[in-house]
Structure 1
Amino acid sequence: MKPIALTAAVLMAGTIAGSMLLSKPAAADDHETHRAECFAPAPDSAVIEYDEREGPYRIAFVNGFAGNDWRIQAIQSAQAWAARPENAANLEEFDVVSVGDDSAAQIAAIDNFIAAGYDAITFIAVNPTAFEGVIRRADRAGTILVPFDNVLDTDQVVQVNESQFALGRLKAETVMNELGGEADKILMVNGLPGNATDRDRRLGMMSVLEEVDGLEIVEVVGNWDTGTSQRVVADALATHGQFDGVVSQHGSAGTINAMLAADHPIVPMGVDGENGVRILMDEHDIPGISASQAPAMSAIALEAAVALLQGNALPQTIFLPIPQVPAADLEAGVNYFPDLPNSFNTGTGFAECFEPFSPEELLGQSVE
């Protein structure tokens, strides 16, 4: 297998172990890639392509932490993808393991699958800077790596994510459009400090809000957690009074509940895609948008791995379409589900890639 990685770093270094460089550089926007409507290139993304390999394939998903609903649904999405007949036909073997927050344990698990001759491995990196050696070992063994969600600091493998900057910007733009472009005070509920995802989402929000004349932006740290968000938003309301709008990264049900408990007027909100959030938005006629980092991207990483094994060219950095529903389009049983847990994530798939999973299809999967 000869991976062809068209990146500036590779162009400067020449060839890398087990890889072959094409004669000239190509960016994804001027080089035809496979199913661009699904595997959309990030700006200035290079292209990676491998020699075709005959299937069926042995593929593993090495998850890290599995202790929250998002990660559990990511595992269920991967299993649901593998169970669909069109995908099962390409799989000789499919394994899912979770290793916790230990980067060394995740690297060891990936190395074990490489040593066992697996064709491809997808994973959510525990530590995005610790995988340089793994990438070299996978390259020598001919194993394709496809990290997603918490991606790596590398340009040597195909990576799957949504643009966190665009996700933040979408929420802020929607709120300001609802307000006619004018506001005095906006509440911003951020995520986990020091995390690149939190940083990029905040930058996306600020790229809109900083352009609003005279706007006061009150920021609180919600840690992407419903309970924490409810507490810090309650404190912000007690300290700062009323807000014209709210942008929240995640844990937005806590944000909404704090505002309802304080009898705050209904204002436009840019919130996440948890089921309970959409139930509250529809029940209380909250204008704005629900947009999510969808756990179903675990299935897209598997889809990308198979596409690469079949010899297709993909962008090195894939930015998936952001699953989103304007408040006016919320509909019970269609994009939220009153009979399911509030923590269920409504980002059940990407229609641009394949038919989204039904809740029954996901909840029928075991995460043992």
Structure 2
Amino acid sequence: MTRRTGNPLGFALALASTATLVTGLAIPRAMAKSTAHDGIALSNSYAGNSWRQQMLKMWKEASHQAISGGIVAKTKIVNADNSASQQESQIEDLILEGWKAIVIDAASPTALNGVIAKACHAGIVVVAFDSLVTAPCAYKVAYNYVHMGQIEARFVAKSLHGKGNVLEVRGIAGTSVDTDIHKGIVETFRKYPKMKIVGSVHGDWTQSIAQKAVAGVLPSLPHIEAVVTQGGDGYGTYEAFMAAGRGTPLIIFGNRQVELSLWAKLDKKPGGYHTISLSSAPGVSSIALWVAQQILAGAKVPKVVNVPLLQIHANQLQSWLKVLPQGAVATPLYSQTWTERLIAANLHHTAPPASPGPETLH
């Protein structure tokens, strides 16, 4: 048995430090400030596609866990109609209502900065996720969307042996997500001089809009070997190619159930269908909620919490399809404990925890 010597307070502090190192948490839960009486609101810019619908569902499930577990008192969702001015007005209302934290999926990287600064000045924790903001006081739960574009373009270039015509289907114009994915695609294709982006349309991350946009541009385009996308547009793109009698190019999918089902169908044909599916996970809203809660609890949280993309390969396709209902998007539901580990990984610059799998879905 080791004999305890020295300052009892120093020994207690050492124990607390050890607990922090062992668990990887910013602060031990026993020492955290209670958030049981706090409320966290979600300001969402847009709810018009399956990704956003799934994102809202994941927020509601995480909120239920937080409220039923006595971790927070209440949550709320307000949706803007893809309008930065409407979202700004809604955030003004949330400030007046006295919410302790506001989580934001933004309509614009810059248009909300003024009202965000007002919220921060009022002592409200602001956490942006998915479509981010540039307001310095806001915390960010961030995917590396430039890297997403790089992954897509690299996969296409290697699959086509560095030569081919590519159609780019982009997201909502003006958002940081669209800008960053496009940047990664363009930067990567510069390394392959014989890879040509011969057309570009905005599909707004929505199947029907993507189908219409692609159908409108196809008659003016040469033969297309591949399509790079941003998620929510792969199936609509495929339908447009079929309607035009153009054959099926290599399409990068975006983790929607309809896209994964299409991939499984195409893969049954002779020779299979070689692609990948990747996207941000709609469950990132649950991470953002827990990040806000951790900040309110007094945990040390970096200004930017980086989250790994959810990438699905052929050998994972069936396990996701087994649990995804029609119209859903592949995503885990992230827990408070998993988020604490992610925060610790960001603080210590270590590998993020392994992403939960389809088993987290109900």
TM-score (norm: length of structure 1): 0.73
Alignment counterpart, residue 317 of structure 2, candidates 316, 327, 330: 330
Do residues 201 (structure 1) and 188 (structure 2) align? no
Structure 2 CA distance for aligned equivalents of residues 169 and 278 of structure 1 = 21
Say if 2:173 and 2:202, in contact at 8 Å, map to a contact too.
no
Aligned residue for 1:321?
308
Say if 1:226 and 1:255, in contact at 8 Å, map to a contact too.
yes
Say if 1:271 and 1:277, in contact at 8 Å, map to a contact too.
yes
Say if 1:275 and 1:337, in contact at 8 Å, map to a contact too.
no
- Sort the Cα spacing of 1:115 and 1:137 in 2 relative to 1 into closer, same or farther, 3 A: same
Alignment counterpart, residue 51 of structure 2, candidates 47, 53, 70: 70
Map Cα deviations across residues 15-53 of structure 1 (whole Å, 9 max, x no partner): xxxxxxxxxxxxxxxxx9x969xx9xxxxxxxxxxx964
Alignment counterpart, residue 192 of structure 1, candidates 167, 172, 194: 172
Aligned residue for 1:346?
330
Aligned residue for 1:295?
282
Aligned residue for 1:214?
194
Q: Which amino acid aligns with 1:66?
A: A
SS in 2 for 1:217: strand
- Sort the Cα spacing of 1:337 and 1:316 in 2 relative to 1 into closer, same or farther, 3 A: same
- Sort the Cα spacing of 1:107 and 1:187 in 2 relative to 1 into closer, same or farther, 3 A: closer
Map Cα deviations across residues 230-281 of structure 1 (whole Å, 9 max, x no partner): 3444455544443332212231101122334455555533221211111111
Map Cα deviations across residues 90-112 of structure 1 (whole Å, 9 max, x no partner): 11222223243454543344344
After TM superposition, the structure 1 = structure 2 runs for residues 108-127 of structure 1, keeping only pairs within 5 Å, are 108-127=89-108
Structure 1 CA distance for aligned equivalents of residues 72 and 104 of structure 2 = 17
- Sort the Cα spacing of 1:188 and 1:133 in 2 relative to 1 into closer, same or farther, 3 A: closer
Aligned residue for 2:163?
183
Q: What is the deviation of 1:122?
A: 0.9
Q: Which amino acid aligns with 1:84?
A: Q
Aligned residue for 1:19?
none
Say if 2:46 and 2:79, in contact at 8 Å, map to a contact too.
yes
Structure 2 CA distance for aligned equivalents of residues 268 and 68 of structure 1 = 23
Q: 272-281 or 83-92, which moves further after superposition? A: 83-92
- Sort the Cα spacing of 1:164 and 1:100 in 2 relative to 1 into closer, same or farther, 3 A: same
Say if 1:187 and 1:245, in contact at 8 Å, map to a contact too.
yes
Aligned residue for 1:157?
138
Structure 2 CA distance for aligned equivalents of residues 94 and 212 of structure 1 = 48
Structure 2 CA distance for aligned equivalents of residues 328 and 175 of structure 1 = 19
Q: What is the deviation of 1:338?
A: 8.6
Query: Percent of pairs identical after alignment?
Result: 24
Q: What is the deviation of 1:145?
A: 0.9
Say if 1:81 and 1:87, in contact at 8 Å, map to a contact too.
no
- Sort the Cα spacing of 1:89 and 1:324 in 2 relative to 1 into closer, same or farther, 3 A: same
Structure 2 CA distance for aligned equivalents of residues 131 and 243 of structure 1 = 39
Say if 1:52 and 1:309, in contact at 8 Å, map to a contact too.
no
- Sort the Cα spacing of 1:72 and 1:191 in 2 relative to 1 into closer, same or farther, 3 A: closer
Q: Which amino acid aligns with 2:148?
A: L
- Sort the Cα spacing of 1:219 and 1:194 in 2 relative to 1 into closer, same or farther, 3 A: farther
Alignment counterpart, residue 89 of structure 1, candidates 70, 89, 92: 70
Structure 1 CA distance for aligned equivalents of residues 96 and 187 of structure 2 = 46
Q: 276-285 or 147-156, which moves further after superposition? A: 147-156
Map Cα deviations across residues 143-193 of structure 1 (whole Å, 9 max, x no partner): 2111222221222221123122111111111222333x4223223222334
Say if 2:66 and 2:72, in contact at 8 Å, map to a contact too.
no
Q: What is the deviation of 1:287?
A: 1.1
Aligned residue for 2:256?
274
Structure 1 CA distance for aligned equivalents of residues 323 and 40 of structure 2 = 35
| Higher helix content, 1 or 2 | 2
SS in 2 for 1:284: helix
Say if 1:189 and 1:249, in contact at 8 Å, map to a contact too.
yes
Unaligned stretches of 5+ residues in structure 1:
1-31, 40-50, 362-368
- Sort the Cα spacing of 1:137 and 1:259 in 2 relative to 1 into closer, same or farther, 3 A: closer
After TM superposition, the structure 1 = structure 2 runs for residues 13-92 of structure 1, keeping only pairs within 5 Å, are 53-56=33-36, 57-84=38-65, 88-92=69-73
Structure 2 CA distance for aligned equivalents of residues 72 and 213 of structure 1 = 39
Alignment counterpart, residue 147 of structure 2, candidates 162, 166, 183: 166
TM-score (norm: length of structure 2): 0.74
Q: CA RMSD in A?
A: 3.2
Alignment counterpart, residue 256 of structure 1, candidates 231, 238, 251: 238
- Number of corresponding residues: 312
Which one has the largest radius of gyration? Answer: 2
- Sort the Cα spacing of 1:339 and 1:52 in 2 relative to 1 into closer, same or farther, 3 A: closer
